[in-house]
Structure 1
Amino acid sequence: MKTIDKSEITDNFLEILEQIQSEGEEVLVTEDSQPILKISPYQKSPTTAELFGELRGKVQYFEDLTQPTVEEWQES
């Protein structure tokens, strides 16, 4: 991860954004050597269908999933 001081980012902001976009590397912005901001490239999160699509129709439920399971977790 590249680190840059806050004072340097104002003069080179567009260049830094282009570099983040082209290289995909995150940039940590600091002030007085303390991190204040992290700039990272956008990453699309997968949808539920994309994550679990292969499992559709393959999962079997043997109990009612909407009922509480308090009886199974009695305190000792």
Structure 2
Amino acid sequence: MTTISLTSLRDNLPSLVRRAQQGERIAITVRGKTVAELGPNRTQNARDAALQRLAAQRGRVIAGDVLAPMTDAWNADADHL
């Protein structure tokens, strides 16, 4: 992680924001103490997050069991006596 002073941040903000957009994390210091970080936005929209979770499950889950219609009628009373 790159470390810069607050003064340097003020002087170079546009270039530092571009670096953060590319994935770099930048620590901002005041009198040598880190007070904040500048970095990429890690939030995803709900659709992208769901697609990423589904892709992670590929090859480990059989979706046909859940999506296939049931051929037998289900009767809660008869099945749980």
TM category, shorter? 0.5 to 0.7
Partner of 1:65: none
Does 1:13 find its partner at 2:13? yes
In structure 1, how many angstroms separate the alpha carbons of the residues matched to 2:7 and 2:38? 15
Q: Which amino acid aligns with 2:25?
A: E
Task: Give 3-state SS (helix, strand or coil) of 1:44's partner.
Answer: coil
Partner of 1:47: 49
- How many residue pairs end up in the alignment? 57
Superposed CA deviations along residues 16-57 of structure 1, whole A, max 9, x for unmatched, are 1012213x1100000011011011101234635743684564
Distance verdict in 2 for CA 1:21–1:50, change over 3 Å: closer
Q: Percent identity over the alignment?
A: 18
Partner of 1:3: 3
Tell me the TM-score normalized by structure 1: 0.57
In structure 1, how many angstroms separate the alpha carbons of the residues matched to 2:42 and 2:24? 12
Q: Which residues in structure 2 correspond to 1:1-76 (within 5 Å)?
A: 1-22=1-22, 24-45=23-44, 47=49, 50-51=52-53, 54=57, 57=66
Structure 1 gap segments, 5+ residues each: 58-76
Task: Indicate the structure (1 or 2) with the bigger Cα radius of gyration.
Answer: 2
Task: Report the aligned-residue RMSD.
Answer: 2.5
Tell me the TM-score normalized by structure 2: 0.54
In structure 1, how many angstroms separate the alpha carbons of the residues matched to 2:54 and 2:9? 41
Structure 2 gap segments, 5+ residues each: 67-81
